[in-house]
A and B are shown apart, each in its own frame.
Chain A
């Protein structure tokens, strides 16, 4: 059996504790329309989602996550600020042999509040309290600092967009940064491509290559070709500037020490100042809620390999084995996309009651 009575009891206890903070309990359908959800999550989650056909509603998916339905419900008519809590099954196909569940309970909490720093601290401190005594290792991060650093680079908007887009794919990000900083040579294939594009008339080149087929138009092709030629002329990101980004992605230290380090490099990278100010204020808010920020682990790259929609504060509580017992973060960009012009800062997280129950059983 996937969900045991013990796990369900643990989920109900955690849910009751969240309700007791004054959060409004919400429900989300188990069958969700697939379109929006899968487009937001990307191919990795899509591959792990159970998709089915409904004769009237089209492609439907077994709820892979609560966040998007909760945001949609809030956007459709929630008042501000708002705090929601929920519990229920989520479904993910597993692509590897082993014990990871295909169907498991999540208990979650989402905060829509324009006082972002206070909301970040509130969610983290609440989770820390609920999970106290289980011997978990907390880890925090802030994707907003890296995003701000990219925005501040003295390079073309196109290169910044490429880096920003791959923040959640660290290997690709690293390869791009190496190339833009002149650390990695231009691949031979790109060199040959540039030569071909440089020497020829675009229309003639395309006509010679073959007939126009598919939705990607001649205009799309010509636009990218022009962008490639333009990019080939752009100077490399200056070494000192690139060095700061390399430093930042590797930054791992207790939170207070990380702040000190960031304040140290801030004069060299003024663009990160507002993000570092937010980090500073968040640490103060966490201390006010009893969290020891002198020992709280911080990694600037934490959260870069989890869900792509986290774009600010991120956190996890790790037990003896993967996956984390709890995780969460800020997802302002997601509410902007789902709100179609209307957005509200949002932060939240989930706990896996099955892992909590297993830890308690181990300690009993």
Chain B
């Protein structure tokens, strides 16, 4: 059986991933027609490339349908319950950096920190009769973070895109989203809470603990790790 490695199927993430492996002597390339999702790996025998949407890679890792995968550390933490029991982090890849942050309207001159957000939420609920809404697609990460920090009187509302616009559209009072430069936030009159960096994400190579690890795939993993200059993890 070959060792299946899941890689983002398009765009910068795919190119940077190919570059990262290429720099270590493992050549990845798309094959076939221009729009066909198939690929090949050279440099280590027995590795099969699986091109997937970055958002689906955590699920495929958890199910063990791929042995390894490259995706954002934020996605793995958010989508997988007890992620470290399901996957192992092999190496941060040094690209795809983004911070998961909480942002509020810039006109809230009384709110700079989580502490302020908590107090604002209490007053908001008392005045408006419902919990202060925070729009996000990172439900698990945001909720765990707010719970750990003892924030009350808020509710998460789901937003799968254009999250920065929700405040202006009156469907949320604050947002939790990833940002790299903060430009979209500023353009939408939002500011980042100073002490609320929930997670600093980057593209990361993961190993699926539940994949079938037979003698063949173990040997391939050892060869691949040696080639990449990584410590071969115990499975």
Contacts and interface: CB of A to CB of B under 8 A. Distances in A.
A206 B105 CA distance: 11
A269 B156 CA distance: 40
B143 to A, nearest CB: 5
Given A162-B119, A214-B167, A95 B109 contact: no
Contact of A46 (B110, B113, B155): B155
B110 A221 contact: yes
Q: Looking at chain A's contact residues, is the secondary structure mostly helix, strand, loop, or mixed? A: helix
A165 interface: yes
B123 interface: yes
A172 B189 CA distance: 30
B139 interface: yes
A224 B123 contact: yes
Query: Size class of A's contact patch?
Result: 35 or more
B130 interface: yes
B154 interface: yes
Contacts of B106: 209-210
Interface in A167-185: 169, 171-173, 175
A39 B170 contact: no
B152 A211 contact: no
B150 A172 contact: yes
B129 to A, nearest CB: 9
B189 A210 contact: yes
Given A95-B140, A209-B109, A214 B168 contact: yes
Nearest to B168: A213
A192 interface: yes
Nearest to A93: B81
A35 to B, nearest CB: 9
B234 interface: no
Contacts of A342: none
A193 B123 contact: no
B104 to A, nearest CB: 8
B146 A43 contact: yes
A220 B105 contact: no
Interface string A209-223: 111111110101101
A135 interface: no
B107 A225 contact: no
A209 B111 CA distance: 12
A218 B113 CA distance: 18
Contacts of A202: 109
A197 B108 CA distance: 12
A213 B107 contact: yes
Interface of A: 38-39, 42-44, 46-47, 94-97, 161-162, 165-166, 169, 171-173, 175, 187, 189-190, 192-193, 196-197, 202, 205-206, 209-216, 218, 220-221, 223-225, 228
6 contacts: A38-B155, A162-B119, A190-B113, A197-B110, A202-B109, A211-B189
